[in-house]
C-alpha cells in the first residue's frame, strides 16, 4: 500500500455554470502537513470540503485512504468518520455540553461505550486545554475555546486526516494564538493535516508543503521554505507581497 | 419656597404637587366607583358632557401633577415608570382603570351576587344572574356524555391511571432516565391506547386487553431474570407467545366464566362524550399528529422526488381543506370506499382525520425550525460520520424542535379548541353536550351559563398547556 492517503486526479467542480475547481491534481502523503492558501473565492474551502464529500465533484476522482468517493452513501460515512474537519464557524452543537459534543459521534457512530468515550474526550480536551470547561455549553465559551473544542471533537473520532477550513478567520487576534498552538501540537504529534489558512506564520512553522490556489486552480505547490523564499509564479509573488 | 408651576411639576415643592395630584386622582376614581357600584352620580349638577368627562379630566391633571422625575419616593417612581410615563400613557392607564371599575359590578352580580346554585330544578333560578344549578344538574353529562352512570368509574380509573403513568417520569431515578424518551414516545401512548379502547369501551374486546395485560405483566416479571444479551428477543417473542397461549390454548374466556367474573359492559363510542371525550380526542390527536407532522416535514426536505412530492401533496391537501369538511367526509364519504363488511369506528375515523389535518400544520411549523438551523450544523454532523437519521435525531431535530416549541404549542392549542367540531359527525364532547342540554325543553334559556362554563374549562386546559410549553422552552434553553 502506498502511503498516499489522499489522491485527487483531474478533478473538476461546478456550481451551476460557474467552474469553481479546475483540473485539480493533488496527492498527499501520510503524516504530511499541507497548508492551502490563496485569495478568497479561489476554491480552497471547496477543495477540502470535497475531500470528505460535503461537496460533490462532477469530474475526476478523489481517493481517500484507498476508497474512492462516489455516490455510494454507506462508504461516505465510513470515510467521513476517518476524516476530521474543523470549520471556520466552529459549528459546535449548541444544545449539548462541551463533553457531550465530543462524545456524541464516538458513542453513536463508532459504538464506543459511554465511559470510554468520556475518558477519550477528556483526554483530548486536556490536550487543547479546556478540560475544565467540559460541562459548560458552547454558548458560554469564548470563540477560541469553542474552536479548540471543535478540534477536540474532531480528534475524538481518531481520524487519520484532519481538515481545517480557515480555523482562525472568525477569531480575535488574541484567540488565534491559542488555536494555532493547539494545531501546532497536533502537527507535532504526527497527524496528517490539510489546513486552509491565511496564517503564514503557522505555515512557516509546521507545514511541509504549501499550495497556492487562484481562480480554482493550483497555481503553485512547493516545499515550505522554497515557497516563501523564491516563489515561481508571478501571481504567488503578488499574493505573498500583499500578505506578508 | 420656590414658585409653583403647575404645568411643570418638579422636585421642589414635591409635597404640594403630590398631595394635590393624589387628591385629584382619588377623586376621579371615587366618582367613577360611586357611579358604577352605587349608581350615584355626584356630579350630575354639571352639564351632560362635562359630567361625563370630568373624572377623566381630573384624573389626567392629577397624574400630570405627580409625574415628577427622580422624586426620591420609591413608590411614586415605580408608578411613574410603569403607568405614567407621559400624557398619552397616563390617559390610557386611567381609561383602563375606569373600564375595569365600570364593568366589575355587572360581572360580579351575574356571576355571584344574583346567581343561583342551590336546589335541583329550574324553578330555583329566579334571580337575574347566572343559574349555576343548571351546570350542577348537568355536570355529570358535561363530563361523561351519555356514558352509563354505573360505568363511569372506568373513565375515572383510566384517567387517573394514565395521569399517574404520565407523571411517573418526574420520579424516575437516574438509572431509568435514559429510557424515559422511549417510554413517553412508544410505551405510554400504547398503554393509553389500550386503556381507552379496551377498558373504556369494554365488551368482548376487553378479553383481548386482559390477555395482553396478563401476558405483559408475566413477561416483565420473568424479564428481570433474563440476561440482558437476550432481552431484546425475549421481549418480542415471549409476550406474543403468552398472548396466543392465553387466547387459544387456555381459553381464558372460559376461565372467567368459571370464576363468575363478568366482562365489562360494552359502551359504544357514540355514547362517549363530554369533557372526557374532549380529553380522549385531544390526547390521541396530539400524540399522532406530532410524529406524522415530523415525518412530513422531513419528507418535504427529502432528496427523493417521490417522498418529497408525496409530503408536499399531503401537507398542501390537508392545509387546504376546512376541518369541518374533513370530519364530514371521514364519517359520510369514507365508509363508502370500504368493503361492505369492514367497519371502522366513528371515533377512530375522527381521530385519524383530525390527526392528519393537524399534522400538516405541525409539519410546516417544524420545517420552519429546520430551516432556521445554519448549514454548518449539517456539515459538522456529516463530517463526524453521521448518516441521515443519526444526524437528524442527534443534532438537527433537538435544536429545531426546541426552536419551534412556541409554534407547536400554538398548533396544539388550536387542535384542542377545534375538537368541538366533531359534533358534525354526531360525537358530543363538552360543547356538543352543552348544545344538547340547552335545547332540552326543561332547561331552555341557559345557553349563556353553559358557554361560560365551557369557556372556563377550555381556558384552564389551554392555559395549562401554554404554561407547560413555556416551561419546556425555559428548560431546554442553552444560551447561544
Flag the least confident range among A79-88, A208-217, B200-209, B355-364.
Answer: B200-209
R_g (Cα) of chain A, nearest Å: 18
CA A175 from centre of chain: 18
Identify the three-state secondary structure at position B268: coil
- Do B77 and B133 lie in one domain? The reply is no
Which set of grid coordinates corresponds to residue A238? 503578488
Tell me, yes or no, whether B359 and B429 share the same domain: yes
Mean pLDDT (10-residue bins), chain B, 480 residues: 68 81 89 85 77 85 84 81 86 91 88 80 78 86 87 87 83 72 77 78 66 72 67 69 71 56 72 89 90 94 93 94 90 78 82 93 95 93 91 92 93 93 88 87 84 93 93 78
Is B303 domain-assigned? yes
Residue B210: inside a domain? no
Maximum alpha-carbon separation in chain A? 55
CB nearest A93 (choices: B377, B383, B476): B377
Give the per-residue pLDDT at B258.
52
B417 part of contact set with chain A, CB < 8 Å: no
Per the model's pLDDT, the better-predicted residue between B182 and A54 turns out to be A54
Kindly determine whether residue A54 and residue B480, on different chains, have CB atoms separated by under 8 Å.
Answer: no
Minimum Cα–Cα distance from A78: chain B residue:
B385
Three state DSSP letters for B283-332: HHHHHHHHHHHHHHHHHHCCCCHHHHHHHHHHHHHHHHCCHHHHHHHHHH
Q: What's the rounded Cα separation, in Å, for the pair B263 and B210?
A: 10
Asked whether residue B207 is assigned to any structural domain, the reply reads no
- Quote the strand ranges of chain A, DSSP E: 4-15, 18-29, 33-37, 59-64, 67-68, 83-86, 161-165, 192-196, 209-214, 217-223
Closest CA to B388 of B307, B476, B288: B307
Distance CA A3, CA B131 (A): 90
Measured CA to CA, the distance from residue A49 to residue A8 in angstroms comes to: 13
Residue B333, in any domain of the structure: yes
Q: What angle, 0 to 180 degrees and rounded to 10, lies between the N-to-C axes of helices B274-300 and B305-320?
A: 140
* Predicted pLDDT of residue B205: 61
Three cell numbers, residue A52: 470528505
Predicted pLDDT of residue B254? 62
Reference B323, options B354, B347, B278, B279; nearest CA is: B354
Percent of chain A with pLDDT over 70: 98
Q: Of B115, B118, B127, B65, which is closest to residue B90 (Cα–Cα)?
A: B65
**Nearest-CA residue of chain B relative to A155?**
B384
Which domain does B329 fall in, by range?
120-147+270-480
User: Is B1 a member of any domain?
Assistant: no
Q: How far is B408 from chain A (nearest CA, A)?
A: 19
Q: Quick one: B285 and B407 in the same domain? A: yes
CA distance B178 to B180: 6
Angstrom distance (rounded) from CA B444 to CA B293: 43
Q: Are B316 and B348 part of one and the same domain? A: yes
Cell numbers found for residue B196: 381507552
- For residues B447-464, b (16+ Cβ closer than 10 Å) or e, as one string? eebbeebbeebbeebbee
Residue in the block written with cell 463508532: A110
CATH code for position B420: 1.10.3720.10
- What's the number of domains chain B is made of? 2
- Cα–Cα dist B357/B320, whole Å: 9
Region of B283 please: left (phi>0), alpha (psi -120 to 50) or beta. Answer: alpha
In this structure, the answer to whether residues B19 and B133 fall within a common structural domain is: no
B 457-476 residues inside an 8 A Cβ radius of A: 476
Whether residues B76 and B140 share a domain: the answer is no
Asked whether residue B410 falls in the same domain as residue B359, the answer is: yes
pLDDT at A106 over 60: yes
Phi, psi of A7 (to 5 degrees): -130, 115
Place of cell 369492514: B342
Virtual torsion, Cα A233, A234, A237, A241, nearest 10 deg: -170
Calpha distance B57→B320 (Å, rounded) = 52
Does residue B383 sit at the A interface (CB-CB below 8 Å)? yes
* Shared domain check, B342 and B370: yes
Residue A221's CB: how many other CB atoms inside 10 A?
Answer: 18
User: Distance from B472 to chain A by nearest Cα, in Å?
Assistant: 14
Out of B113, B138, B157, a domain closes at B113
State which of B92, B113, B134 marks the end of a domain: B113
pLDDT of residue B134: 85
Residues B57 and B140 in one domain: no
**A165 touches A46 (CB < 8 A):** no
- Among B88, B113, B138, the domain boundary falls at B113
Tell whether B385 lies on the interface with A, counting CB pairs under 8 A: yes
B379/A91 touch (CB, cutoff 8 Å), yes or no:
yes
Check residue B462 and give its pLDDT: 94
Q: What does the pLDDT read at residue A183?
A: 92
Report the pLDDT value the prediction gives residue B379, as an integer from 0 to 100. Answer: 94
Same domain, B68 and B129: no
Instruction: Tell me: do B91 and B124 sit in the same domain.
Output: no
How far is Cα B460 from Cα B476, in angstroms, rounded to an integer? 24
Residue B172 belongs to some domain of the structure: no
Q: How far is CA B165 from the centre of its chain?
A: 19
Q: What angle do CA B256, B262, B265 make, to 5 degrees?
A: 135
Q: Phi and psi dihedrals of B265, rounded to 5?
A: -65, 140
* B320 is a domain residue: yes
**What pLDDT, on a 0 to 100 scale, did the predictor assign at position B260?**
45
A85 → chain B, closest CA residue: B383
Using CA coordinates, name the residue in chain A closest to B477: A95
DSSP-assigned letters across all residues of A166-180: STTTTS-HHHHHHHH
pLDDT at B55: 86
Provide the 10 A C-beta neighbour count for residue A77. 19
The predicted model gives A228-242 an average pLDDT of 89
Same domain as B108, residue B129: no
C-alpha cell read off for A96: 449539548
Reported as type and span, the H/E element at residue B212 is: helix B205-223
At B36, give phi and psi (nearest 5°): -85, -35
Spatial CA neighbour of B404 closest among B362, B374, B376, B375: B362
In a domain, B229, yes or no: no
Amino acid at each position: 500500500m502506498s502511503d498516499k492517503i489522499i489522491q485527487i486526479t483531474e478533478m473538476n467542480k461546478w456550481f451551476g455554470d460557474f467552474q469553481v475547481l479546475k483540473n485539480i491534481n493533488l496527492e498527499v502523503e501520510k503524516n504530511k502537513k499541507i497548508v492551502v492558501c490563496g485569495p478568497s473565492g479561489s476554491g480552497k474551502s471547496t477543495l477540502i470540503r470535497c475531500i470528505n464529500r460535503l461537496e460533490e465533484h462532477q469530474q475526476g476522482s478523489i481517493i481517500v485512504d484507498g476508497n474512492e468517493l462516489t455516490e455510494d452513501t454507506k462508504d461516505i460515512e465510513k470515510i467521513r468518520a476517518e476524516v476530521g474537519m474543523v470549520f471556520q464557524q466552529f459549528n459546535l452543537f449548541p444544545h449539548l455540553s462541551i463533553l457531550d459534543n465530543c462524545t456524541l459521534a464516538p458513542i453513536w457512530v463508532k459504538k464506543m461505550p459511554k465511559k470510554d468515550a468520556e475518558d477519550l474526550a477528556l483526554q483530548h480536551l486536556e490536550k487543547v486545554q479546556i478540560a475544565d470547561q467540559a460541562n459548560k455549553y458552547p454558548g458560554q465559551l469564548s470563540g477560541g475555546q469553542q474552536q479548540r473544542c471543535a478540534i477536540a471533537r474532531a480528534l475524538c473520532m481518531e481520524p487519520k486526516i484532519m481538515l481545517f477550513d480557515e480555523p482562525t478567520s472568525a477569531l480575535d487576534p488574541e484567540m488565534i494564538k491559542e488555536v494555532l498552538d493547539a494545531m501546532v501540537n497536533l502537527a507535532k504529534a504526527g497527524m496528517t493535516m490539510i489546513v486552509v489558512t491565511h496564517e503564514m506564520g503557522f505555515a512557516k512553522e509546521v507545514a511541509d508543503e504549501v499550495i497556492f490556489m487562484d481562480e480554482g486552480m493550483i497555481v503553485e505547490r512547493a516545499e515550505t521554505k522554497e515557497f516563501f523564499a523564491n516563489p515561481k509564479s508571478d501571481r504567488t509573488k503578488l499574493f505573498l507581497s500583499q500578505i506578508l | 419656597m420656590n414658585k409653583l408651576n403647575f404645568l411643570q411639576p418638579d422636585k421642589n415643592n414635591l409635597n404640594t404637587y403630590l398631595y394635590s395630584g393624589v387628591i385629584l386622582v382619588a377623586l376621579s376614581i371615587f366618582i367613577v366607583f360611586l357611579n358604577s357600584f352605587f349608581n350615584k352620580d355626584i356630579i350630575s349638577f354639571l352639564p351632560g358632557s362635562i359630567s361625563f368627562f370630568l373624572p377623566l379630566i381630573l384624573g389626567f391633571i392629577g397624574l400630570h401633577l405627580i409625574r415628577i422625575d427622580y422624586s426620591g419616593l420609591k413608590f411614586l417612581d415605580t408608578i411613574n415608570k410603569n403607568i405614567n410615563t407621559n400624557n398619552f400613557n397616563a390617559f390610557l392607564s386611567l381609561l383602563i382603570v375606569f373600564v375595569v371599575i365600570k364593568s366589575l359590578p355587572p360581572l360580579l352580580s351575574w356571576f355571584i351576587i344574583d346567581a343561583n346554585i342551590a336546589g335541583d330544578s329550574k324553578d330555583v333560578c329566579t334571580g337575574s344572574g347566572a343559574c349555576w344549578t343548571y351546570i350542577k344538574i348537568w355536570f355529570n353529562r358535561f363530563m361523561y356524555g351519555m356514558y352509563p352512570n354505573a360505568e363511569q368509574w372506568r373513565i375515572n380509573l383510566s384517567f387517573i391511571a394514565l395521569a399517574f403513568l404520565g407523571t411517573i417520569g418526574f420520579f424516575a431515578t437516574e438509572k431509568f432516565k435514559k429510557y424515559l424518551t422511549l417510554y413517553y414516545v412508544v410505551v405510554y401512548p400504547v398503554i393509553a391506547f389500550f386503556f381507552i379502547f379496551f377498558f373504556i369501551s369494554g365488551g368482548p374486546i376487553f378479553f383481548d386487553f386482559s390477555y395482553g395485560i396478563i401476558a405483559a405483566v408475566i413477561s416483565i416479571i420473568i424479564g428481570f431474570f433474563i440476561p440482558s444479551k437476550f432481552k431484546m428477543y425475549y421481549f418480542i417473542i415471549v409476550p406474543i407467545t403468552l398472548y396466543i397461549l392465553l387466547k387459544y390454548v387456555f381459553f381464558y374466556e372460559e376461565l372467567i366464566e368459571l370464576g363468575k367474573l363478568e366482562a365489562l359492559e360494552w359502551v359504544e363510542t357514540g355514547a362517549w362524550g363530554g369533557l372526557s371525550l374532549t380529553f380522549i380526542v385531544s390526547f390521541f390527536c396530539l400524540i399522532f399528529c406530532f410524529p406524522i407532522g415530523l415525518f412530513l416535514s422531513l419528507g418535504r426536505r427529502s432528496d427523493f422526488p417521490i417522498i418529497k412530492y408525496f409530503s408536499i401533496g399531503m401537507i398542501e391537501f390537508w392545509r387546504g381543506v376546512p376541518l369541518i369538511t374533513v370530519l364530514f367526509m371521514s364519517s359520510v364519504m369514507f365508509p363508502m370506499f370500504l368493503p361492505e363488511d369492514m367497519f371502522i369506528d366513528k371515533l377512530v375515523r375522527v381521530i385519524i382525520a383530525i390527526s392528519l389535518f393537524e399534522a400538516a400544520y405541525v409539519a410546516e411549523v417544524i420545517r420552519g425550525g429546520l430551516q432556521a438551523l445554519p448549514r454548518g450544523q449539517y456539515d459538522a454532523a456529516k463530517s463526524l460520520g453521521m448518516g441521515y437519521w443519526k444526524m437528524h435525531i442527534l443534532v438537527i431535530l433537538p435544536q429545531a424542535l426546541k426552536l419551534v416549541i412556541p409554534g407547536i404549542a400554538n398548533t396544539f392549542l388550536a387542535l384542542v379548541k377545534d375538537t368541538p367540531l366533531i359534533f358534525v359527525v354526531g360525537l358530543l364532547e363538552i360543547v356538543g353536550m352543552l348544545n344538547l342540554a340547552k335545547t332540552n325543553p326543561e332547561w331552555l334559556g341557559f345557553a349563556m351559563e353553559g358557554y361560560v362554563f365551557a369557556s372556563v374549562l377550555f381556558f384552564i386546559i389551554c392555559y395549562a398547556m401554554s404554561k407547560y410549553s413555556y416551561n419546556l422552552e425555559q428548560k431546554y434553553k442553552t444560551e447561544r
